[in-house]
Structure 1
Amino acid sequence: MYFNGFDQTYKDWIWYAKPIEINASETVNQEPETERDFFGETVDMCEGAHEHFTENPEEFKKFVEEGKKPLYPGCYKHTKLSGLVKLYNLKARHGMTDNCFADMLIELGDLLPIGQELPSSMFEAKKTLNALGLKYEKIHACFNDCILYRKKYHDLTSCPKCGLSRWKVTKKNVVKKGVSTKVLWYFPPIPRFKRMFKYLETSKSLTWHNEAQIKDGRLRYPADSPSWKMIDYKWPNFGTEPRNLRLALSLDGINPHSSLSSRYSCWPVILVTYNLPPELCMKRKFMMLTLLISGPKQLGNDIDIYLEPLVDDLALL
């Protein structure tokens, strides 16, 4: 851009998230948006959960049948499963307590028509959603960010570098054994990559950079960049397989409490998949949270200690 200037022939950007206009005659046989949501999203969620039921296929069949039920008789927009997922997302976004969410389920159940399928308690809601969930790990960490209590340090009760206890100590110097001074939340990316390849549409999108991208020497997308091409040149076996994933890692400290008076610092570590088309790779559903490092202070160079489990999985891949 600096050396060559802006393209004077540019008028409309047609390759980035611009909807394609369709004639009215072509839309006659298309299924309604509500029906696509009803079946498509529920099927995607259920297919992704299949691996959790490999030892009990009958349980999976029951789970699918439950998930496909309309939220209430005559409802064509939401199933029992998709409605519950939307409500739970609302709970997480606004920081609802479990008691508040349980009360909301009861009130909504009273407002919906007779025969509604919404769970009536937090226990039932969690039981349904746990079938969809992916595993995560809670890894204990030294309060001074010296080590993670994993691998050779797994069974230690104090840090071998600074000597600080692994467990919290009360004001009366009572050790609360089992309660770590600091915890790292780790969400392994490998199972989620597997799910991306299981979905038909997503698996097609993961090779977009090789099959659908315009290759005319202009820089429109990360695949046009010198960095991408350098990887293809240095590791040709990797570059020739379009399904191989190109990832970007992003991290930053945030204050999760929405209060300027709080100095608490929380660090999310996110992976972005550059294989996807530009209109998808920065979508929230494809931005993959892998680590959540809790405060209360900023990490500085000690953050590499917390990246260890992610680096191990990426090396394995």
Structure 2
Amino acid sequence: MDDRSWIFIEDRVNNPYFEKCLNDFLKFAYKKKEVGSRIYCPCRRCKNSERRKEETVRAHVTMKGFLTTYTNWIYHGEDPWDFNQENMNNGVFRRIENDDMNELIHETLGRTLEENSNINLEELRGACDEETNKFFKLLKHAETELYPGCKNFTLLSFVIKLLHVKSLCRWSNNSMTILLELLKEVFPENELFPSSYRDAWKIVKDLGLSYHKIHACPNDCLIYWKETEHETFCRKCGTPRYKQIVKQSDDSSEQANKVPAKLVRYFPLKPRLQRLFMSSKIASLMRWHEEERIKDGKLRHPADSLAWKHFNDRHPSFASDPRNVRVGLAADGFNPFKAMNNKYSTVHWKHADWEI
């Protein structure tokens, strides 16, 4: 099923084409499953978080719609890396030369690969500032073979793919650590190989995947932030902020370290945007919507839309500076004929469960 345009159809009820495509999807999902078993429901409400029977999945998808961001059906038996048949014929994992680790590292530094090619690395090494040390550490991991003679993976590319699998398959941190301990025995020659989930995270954290932990009410009433930062009970429903965990001591019971009942993870957008503007080439592309876009009244770019113009009318001070970014668009401002690419998307990584 290479054509997946049907998942965007809004007129779904009594639509023969949609019903045919949905039936093909369900046949694919149940290809290796027993009749009557449950599968993850890909409707826009369940979002692959609930297992349901076939008829329920059919009803949900028809009434609520198929999750439009779910184009690689990893929860229903598809290759987690790529559904493109050419890549599947070449194997699940791509080789080192196709992993773009060097491009990823240079983008993390805040410059394009072409700009960094003109940098004197010895001068950078002599500067010894924090950013430079991070850069050379990432380069070292990107050049370290997973084991002597390995041609398919470096340490960095392998750890990134392993963390990707952890996220896709919803592994726990403990299961990840157990696997890494086993692999550490398999690759004893690589002294840098992580032996725990925490060590693996340390290898990739300098790529800019950090986040802030914020305590939240278990009933989703509020987050403990700013004026509620120091409160211990939800001001709306009265639910305790912390789990009631008590440890026993020799003399009496004393409260253990406070464990939040619920955590949310905030991924700061500002550092990501700052990194993009550090590159003169990318910065000019982000201003393309104002400086180079053809303004003849035709709809070629989101900046030509009525919604964009309405926003400009309501916020003239914001609109006056073309560097300002409208977060509602994944690739806001970019030249759609050249630079629009998912690596610039603010929601490119799915790693919400990578907790330290």
| Matched AA of 1:165 | P
Q: Distance in 2 between matches of 1:160 and 1:290?
A: 34
2:217 equivalent in structure 1: 142
With over 3 angstroms needed to count, the CA separation of the structure-2 counterparts of 1:107 and 1:137, relative to structure 1, is closer
- The structure 2 residue matched to 1:226, chosen from 306, 314, 330, is 306
- Superposition deviation, residue 229 in structure 1: 2.0
Q: 2:234–2:241: 8 Å Cα contact kept in structure 1?
A: yes
Shift of 1:108: 6.6
Give aligned pairs, total: 233
**Bigger relative CO (Cα 8 Å, ≥ 6 apart):** 1
The match for 1:196 is: 276
SS at match of 1:156: coil
* 2:285 paired with 1:205: yes
Aligned-partner residue type, residue 44 of structure 1:
E
The residue identity in structure 1 corresponding to 2:103 is G
Indicate if the aligned counterparts of 2:276 and 2:282 stay in contact, CA closer than 8 A.
Answer: yes
SS at match of 2:258: strand
CA displacement 1:173-218 (0-9 Å, x = unmatched): x987622233222122211211222245532331232244343322
Identity of aligned residues (%): 30
Quote how far apart the aligned CAs of 1:286 are: 0.8
Confirm or deny: 8 A CA contact 1:136 1:186 kept in the other structure.
yes
- CA–CA separation in structure 2 for the residues paired with 1:284 and 1:142: 33
Amino acid at match of 2:241: R
CA contact (8 A) 1:105 1:120 kept: yes
RMSD: 4.4
Deviation at 1:146, TM superposition (A): 3.5
**Partners of 1:130 and 1:141 in 2: how far apart?**
24
Structure 2, unaligned runs of 5 or more: 1-95, 112-123, 246-253
* 3-state secondary structure, aligned to 2:333: coil
How far apart are the structure 1 equivalents of 2:315 and 2:217?
Answer: 38
More strand by share: 1
Out of 260, 263, 272, which is 1:180 matched to? 260
Tell me the residue number matched to 2:134. Answer: 60
TM-score for both structures, normalised by structure 2: 0.51
Q: Which residue identity lines up with residue 275 of structure 1 in the other structure?
A: G
Equivalent residue, structure 1, for 2:159: 84
Q: Which residue of 2 aligns with 1:244?
A: 324
1:288 aligns with 2:347: yes
Q: State the shift of 1:222 in Å.
A: 1.0
Structure 1: 5+ residue stretches without partners: 1-32, 249-270, 295-317
3-state secondary structure, aligned to 1:180: coil
Note the 1:1-317 alignment, pairs <5 A.
34=97, 37=100, 39-47=102-110, 56=130, 59-60=133-134, 62-71=136-145, 79-98=154-173, 100-102=175-177, 119-122=193-196, 123-169=198-244, 178-248=258-328, 272-278=330-336, 283=342, 286-288=345-347
Q: Cα gap change, 1:148/1:292 in structure 2, threshold over 3 Å: closer, same or farther? A: farther
Q: 2:82 is matched with which residue?
A: none
Distance 1:145 1:97 in 2: 23
Distance (Å, rounded) in 2 between the aligned partners of 1:169 and 1:44: 44
Contact 1:70 1:76 in 2 (8 A): no
Distance apart, 1:223 and its partner CA: 0.7
